[in-house]
Amino acid sequence: MGMGIWDAFKYSCLLPGKKAAFQLNRIPMDRTIMYIFLLVFAVSIPRAANLAAGGAPGSLNMIQFVFYFLFVYELLAACTVLAGISLLACCGYVLRKLMKRKLAYRHLWKMSCYTITVPLVLHTIIDEWMTKNGLVSGVVLGGYPLVCLVLMIRHYPAARHHQQPGPV
């Protein structure tokens, strides 16, 4: 039986550990994408609660607000997170080349999905309850996943270079 969402969350919080990285790479891509959508939904709940408590945007009644939250806000948030994951994976691809490691883009993309767990949760806490400092949020959302990705890439073996046979 495969790993559940809770196990994926637990291992994501243990990154950049080697065991956690290898366990998460065993999760199928469809579960990884489902995990991302659930994570985005979970970290959006405090924002929805604040919006609902302060009055729904504009003159929306509660049913319209729920529709807005689930189909507009969540869709935009998920697209933003997926774009960020893809950008992080591209950075990882460049780093992989520089570090001469043997990793496919799909592995880097999956690793990027899980490295954003801690930053998204921390950003939610910082943004909702502590401060709305853009620099702190930028470091948490950009710096931590990048450092984590570098440390995870180091777990993988260096690519072997095959020597071309010389002229005979």
Q: Which pLDDT does position 143 carry in this prediction? A: 87
Mean pLDDT of 15-26: 92
Q: What is the pTM of this model?
A: 0.83
Mean pLDDT of 92-118: 94
Domain ranges of the chain: 5-153
12 contacts 20 by C-beta, under 8 angstroms: yes
**CB count in 10 Å sphere of residue 20:** 19
- Give per-residue pLDDT as tens, 123-144: 888 776 666 666 767 777 788 9
Count of alpha carbons within 13 Å of 122, Cβ hemisphere only? 17
The whole-angstrom separation of Cα 138 and Cα 60 is 32
Mean pLDDT, the chain, rounded, equals 86
Q: Which amino acid is at 151?
A: L
Q: Which amino acid is at 12?
A: S
The whole-angstrom separation of Cα 52 and Cα 61 is 10
Count of alpha carbons within 13 Å of 64, Cβ hemisphere only? 7
- Give per-residue pLDDT as tens, 89-100: 999 999 999 999
Does the pLDDT at position 116 exceed 90? Answer: yes
- The lowest-confidence range among 6-10, 85-89, 123-127 is 123-127
Q: Which pLDDT does position 167 carry in this prediction? A: 65
The whole-angstrom separation of Cα 146 and Cα 95 is 10
- DSSP per residue, 21-75: HHHHHTS-HHHHHHHHHHHHHHHHHHHHHHHHHT--STT--HHHHHHHIIIIIHH
pLDDT band at 34 (very low <50, low <70, confident <90, very high): very high
Cα diameter, the chain: 81
Q: How far is CA 109 from CA 20, 61, 87, 104, 164, in A?
A: 16, 39, 9, 9, 32
Does the pLDDT at position 22 exceed 50? Answer: yes
